[in-house]
Amino acid sequence: MNQGGLLWANARVCVSFFDDTRLITHFGESIGHCKNVGISGDTVLAMSPDAPSAPADPAQPHTPVSTNTPQSHTAETHGDEDDPFVSISGWGRTAPTTARVLRPRTAAEAAAVVQGWGARGGIARGLGRAYGDAAQNAGGCVLDMTGLARIHTIDGQAGTVVCDAGVSLHRLMEVLLPLGWFVPVSPGTRQVTVGGALGADIHGKNHHASGSFSRHVESLELLTANGEVQTLRPGSDLFDATTGGMGLTGVILSATVRLHRVETSLMSVDTERAADLDELLARLTTDDHRYRYSVAWIDLLARGKALGRSVLTRGEHAPLTALPSRARHQPLDFRPGRLPAPPAQLPRGLLNRTTVGLFNEFWYRRAPRSRTTELQPLTRFFHPLDAVPHWNRIYGGDGFVQYQFVVGHGQEEALRSIIQRIARRGCPSFLAVLKRFGTSDPGWLSFPMPGWTLALDIPAGLAGLGSFLDELDEEVATAGGRIYLAKDSRLRPELLDVMYPRLPDFRALRAHLDPQGVFTSDLSRRLAL
């Protein structure tokens, strides 16, 4: 335990010491014995507002691309310099595999790399926030896109930004909020790249009002298997295959994104409790349209009469007039705080039915029965988990699985039945999230469909979890629903065709565009995408 305490203290020192450095990798520096941890979505961006795009590595003047640069991966590599294979996993830290990590700094470097990356192909990777194996490629190459991180132009009139795919949403917020603009769609973490946001065609709390990320993109540049760069616009097949296409159509180099106008960096939030699932669904159905953002934290350990009890938080960007006068002279302040990261190695089973049950009880009771127009910092409303770097470590060495599915309107009984099964089973998942989706998005493999989506984290070490989730999959598929590829790490491949009707088109397009399978990932191998 002593040792754990020491690591914790070290981690704290690191955070404050590196407070305004550009790119910190938290494992490795202070944790000497922690070998071969590899990359597990663990690089944390903490850019200062004036951070220029990273300069070329002076140590390697002749190599066009720096392989496995120290700032991006302090993780242990095996072999020597010319064998920079690194162990990589997703945010859930399950199923690590090794690949050569290349980090281009320009579009031309990226194109050169793609041409020469060999038989096992490669895949783009952003900040590794996909939970499963989407951004890893065993034995092949992984293109770390965070080196392509320039914001090219911001049109303050039209409200658009042109930026590289490796720019994080965190960075965009830092730059854009002071100008009175916000990203059109924000997931539950700011630590995702624009490329990752498009690759998974992410949704936010505003899906019912604004749709997925790709709906706010005017154009994107795609590097395809033959080395060409194409400019794609919404409505074309390749655009629709790329958004949600999990990096398998090519490398997104840059995008033009439409922004949302805001007057302040605060949110005006209404919080209410719903005592059970019926009440929750009723509220979401009757007045979701009044809010731009809406989500419910649901207690999946609650059973019986309390099944589905939840805390709804819904809100809107606060107008300037809503701020107290002393806050009005700096209404667009954006200063997210950070807590120390948990130690790198934690025992299994920290999260169990008892600890999570207590937490959920506390969370539910803590919430007010009903409170309106509370002002909250934007980060607390959108990204509460970002305050704790590496929170994924609390699941210990086995890692964890995020299960996210959607079923359509009219399938409320399927939703109830699944929630009942999860509750009965006592899955220790805290802070599961339920949301009502708006209309489907055009991406062929985009996840959302009008209906209900539920996302929950479960420790991967839970006995029998594999078969249990297989059973839930069947229910989801029977109800005409689907699971989210950006979260998946275990779906039975046969079900994918049922869940994504446009999969044949996607496969045909890839066969045509990339007959050699230049773009390949562990996900695409596992699911035969």
Ligand X SMILES: Cc1cc2nc3c(=O)[nH]c(=O)nc-3n(C[C@H](O)[C@H](O)[C@H](O)COP(=O)(O)OP(=O)(O)OC[C@H]3O[C@@H](n4cnc5c(N)ncnc54)[C@H](O)[C@@H]3O)c2cc1C
Binding site residues, ligand X, CB under 6 A: 91, 123-130, 134-135, 145, 165, 187-189, 192-193, 195-196, 199-200, 202-204, 246-247, 251-252, 385, 486
Using the rule CB under 8 A, which residue among 28, 442, 461, 517 binds another protein? 461
Between residues 238 and 523, which has the closer beta carbon with respect to another protein?
A: 523
- Exposure string (b/e) for 161-196, b if CB count within 10 Å is 16 or more? bbbbbbbbbbbbbbbbbeebbbbbbbbbbbbbbbbb
User: Which DSSP string corresponds to 254-287?
Assistant: EEEEE-EE-S-SEEEEEEEEESSHHHHHHHHHHH
Question: What stretches of 263-385 adopt beta strand conformation (E)?
Answer: 266-274, 293-298, 310-317, 370-377
If you search the block for the tokens 């922004």, which residue do you land on?
Answer: 259
Amino acid of residue 353? R
- C-alpha 386/C-alpha 462 separation (Å) is 25
Using the rule CB under 8 A, which residue among 397, 410, 504, 515 binds another protein? 397
Contact (CB, 8 A) for 23 and 71: yes
- 20, burial (CB in 10 Å: exposed 0-12, middle 13-18, buried 19+): exposed
- C-alpha 112/C-alpha 49 separation (Å) is 30
- C-alpha 505/C-alpha 242 separation (Å) is 12
* Terminal alpha carbon distance of the chain: 45
Pick from ligand X, another protein, none: which does 129 bind, CB < 5 to 8 A by kind?
ligand X
CB of 133 to another protein, least distance (A): 7
If you search the block for the tokens 């959607």, which residue do you land on?
Answer: 406
Q: Does 516 bind another protein (CB under 8 A)?
A: no
Q: Does 73 bind another protein (CB under 8 A)?
A: no
Using the rule CB under 8 A, which residue among 8, 51, 107, 120 binds another protein? 120
Pick from 233, 152, 144, 237: nearest CA to 193: 144
For another protein (CB under 8 A), the number of binding residues is 38
Q: Does 231 bind another protein (CB under 8 A)?
A: no
Q: Write the CA distances from 94 to 223, 369, 484, 499, integer angstroms.
A: 29, 38, 17, 24
Pick from another protein, ligand X, none: which does 431 bind, CB < 5 to 8 A by kind?
none
Tokens of 310: 């939840």
For the segment 431-460, give every residue that binds another protein (CB under 8 A): 460
Q: Does 118 bind another protein (CB under 8 A)?
A: no
Amino acid of residue 504? P
Pick from ligand X, another protein, none: which does 292 bind, CB < 5 to 8 A by kind?
none
Pick from ligand X, another protein, none: which does 165 bind, CB < 5 to 8 A by kind?
ligand X
Q: Does 399 bind another protein (CB under 8 A)?
A: yes
Between residues 229 and 394, which has the closer beta carbon with respect to another protein?
A: 394
Rounded to the nearest 10 degrees, how much is the dihedral formed by the CA atoms of 253, 256, 262, 266? -10
Pick from ligand X, another protein, none: which does 29 bind, CB < 5 to 8 A by kind?
none
Q: Does 473 bind another protein (CB under 8 A)?
A: no
Q: E strand or H helix at 382, and its extent?
A: helix 378-382
Pick from ligand X, another protein, none: which does 138 bind, CB < 5 to 8 A by kind?
another protein
Pick from another protein, ligand X, none: which does 139 bind, CB < 5 to 8 A by kind?
another protein
Q: Does 101 bind another protein (CB under 8 A)?
A: no
Residues in the chain, overall count: 529
Pick from 369, 352, 368: nearest CA to 301: 352
Q: Does 466 bind another protein (CB under 8 A)?
A: yes
CB of 476 to another protein, least distance (A): 17
Question: What stretches of 465-506 adopt beta strand conformation (E)?
Answer: 482-483
CB of 515 to another protein, least distance (A): 17
Between residues 466 and 504, which has the closer beta carbon with respect to another protein?
A: 466
- Name the segment binding another protein (CB under 8 A); options: 131-139, 225-233, 408-416, 504-512: 131-139
Between residues 18 and 391, which has the closer beta carbon with respect to ligand X?
A: 391
Using the rule CB under 8 A, which residue among 25, 43, 68, 87 binds another protein? 87
In the stretch 22-41, what mask flags binding to another protein with x, by CB under 8 A?
-------------xx-x---
CB of 525 to another protein, least distance (A): 5
Tokens of 316: 């809107």
Binding residues (CB under 8 A) for another protein: these are 35-36, 38, 76-78, 85, 87, 92, 94-99, 120, 132-133, 137-140, 397-399, 401, 460-461, 465-467, 489-490, 492-493, 522, 525-526
